[in-house]
Amino acid sequence: MSRTEKPAMPEPGSVLPATPTASPAMAALRQFARSPSGVIGAAVLLTLVAITAFGPFFYPIDPLDIVGAPFTAPGADAWLGTDYLGRDELAGLIHGGRATLTVGAVAAVITIVIGVTIGALGGFFGGAIAALLGKITEFFQILPPLLFAMVLVTLFGQTLTTITIAIGAVSWPTAARLTRAEFLRLRGLDFVKASRAAGAGNGHLILRVVLPNALPPVIVAATLAIGVAILFEGGLSFLGLGDPNTMSWGLMIGENRNYVLDGWWTVTFPGAAIFVAVLAISLIGDGINDALNPRLRRRS
């Protein structure tokens, strides 16, 4: 085409080819990949998960077996030493990570399910329902969470299942208040009114219209709830309320807390593992927050 020729104009009524646009999920994933903290946190957490998942195949020592003398220092006989009973610390870290990370993930799911349900119902319907659910949320919020969890574990038994449910049952008020605020903000917007005018019922509006738009801050809260649950499990185990039949990082600290001067490694290594896991989850939360921030996505 010469310089004097003009580009051909589309004929009237013709359809222009659509410009390919990335889905919101892909856009959020790309934005997450641009977050150094999120990428580092994800890499660290995936490493911990891989170690706890595949470690027993390469280091097949039962964490509850006595393999040497108590308080054996880290060395050739035991890479990370032994605890007050002579159990291998490295085996405890590998196997204990499964229980600790599982408790964190499952307790966070329980927290979000309860919190989102109560917050969504209160924020969407308002009135007497919101007042009742608000009072319930305030009641649980003023209770000391750790003390309440201790009472539940003491009453229903020191099992890993009870500990997980107890942590989830005391940690949901923050998620409920966050969800309620999002529903109050969204329920009066035009797209919700249009869906209601089109005949959508309350269930459809809550689950298919309002909730997907209220999820970004809830997802960030869910990520941080995992770290909180891990710390809760460590706190309960430190106070002697861990499951004695299941090795976890918190149990390792709790059982060796009185012997820290005899063997510093017995509490240092599991404490460092908890610190690294919670830090990685916090970094992932920062990355998810950046990825779901519409202003940052708009700049990219």
Report the chain's mean pLDDT, rounded to a whole number: 86
Please check the confidence at residue 154 and state whether its pLDDT lies above 80.
yes
Can you tell me the distance from the alpha carbon of 91 to that of 180, in angstroms, rounded to the nearest whole number?
44
Give the pLDDT band (50/70/90) at residue 15: very low
Question: Is there a contact between 251 and 230 (Cβ–Cβ < 8 Å)?
Answer: no
Q: Which two tokens stand for residue 240?
A: 């002697």
- The whole-number average pLDDT for the span 25-34 is 80
pLDDT on residue 28: 74
Please check the confidence at residue 18 and state whether its pLDDT lies above 50.
no
CB neighbours of residue 3 within 10 Å: 5
Integer angstrom CA distances of residue 262 from 34, 129, 233: 46, 57, 24
- The whole-number average pLDDT for the span 225-249 is 89
- The whole-number average pLDDT for the span 38-64 is 93
Residue type, 107: A
Give the pLDDT band (50/70/90) at residue 63: very high
Give the pLDDT band (50/70/90) at residue 111: very high
- Tell the burial category of 257 from Cβ atoms under 10 Å away from its Cβ (0-12, 13-18, 19+): middle
Largest CA distance in the chain: 92
Can you tell me the distance from the alpha carbon of 206 to that of 254, in angstroms, rounded to the nearest whole number?
43
Tens digits of residue pLDDT in 185-225: 888 888 888 988 888 888 888 888 898 888 888 888 888 89
Question: Is there a contact between 165 and 233 (Cβ–Cβ < 8 Å)?
Answer: no
Residue with tokens 């909730």: 211
Domains and CATH numbers, the chain: 80-299 (1.10.3720.10)
Q: Which two tokens stand for residue 135?
A: 């009072």
Residue type, 300: S
Min mean pLDDT across 44-53, 79-88, 235-244 is at 235-244
Question: Is there a contact between 242 and 251 (Cβ–Cβ < 8 Å)?
Answer: yes
Q: How far is CA 163 from the centre of its chain?
A: 16
- The whole-number average pLDDT for the span 93-107 is 93
Can you tell me the distance from the alpha carbon of 271 to that of 258, in angstroms, rounded to the nearest whole number?
15
- Positive/negative CA dihedral, 150, 155, 157, 159: negative
Can you tell me the distance from the alpha carbon of 258 to that of 291, in angstroms, rounded to the nearest whole number?
44
Please check the confidence at residue 262 and state whether its pLDDT lies above 70.
yes
Q: Which residue has the higher pLDDT, 35 or 3?
A: 35
Angular region, 157: left φ>0, alpha ψ -120 to 50, beta rest: left
Give the pLDDT band (50/70/90) at residue 275: very high
pLDDT on residue 294: 56
Can you tell me the distance from the alpha carbon of 119 to that of 112, in angstroms, rounded to the nearest whole number?
10
The radius of gyration of the chain's CA atoms, rounded to the nearest angstrom, is 25
Please state the pTM of the whole predicted model. 0.84
Q: Which residue has the higher pLDDT, 46 or 215?
A: 46
Question: Is there a contact between 250 and 236 (Cβ–Cβ < 8 Å)?
Answer: yes
Question: Is there a contact between 237 and 251 (Cβ–Cβ < 8 Å)?
Answer: yes
Please check the confidence at residue 44 and state whether its pLDDT lies above 70.
yes
Question: Is there a contact between 92 and 43 (Cβ–Cβ < 8 Å)?
Answer: no
Give the pLDDT band (50/70/90) at residue 42: very high
pLDDT on residue 19: 43
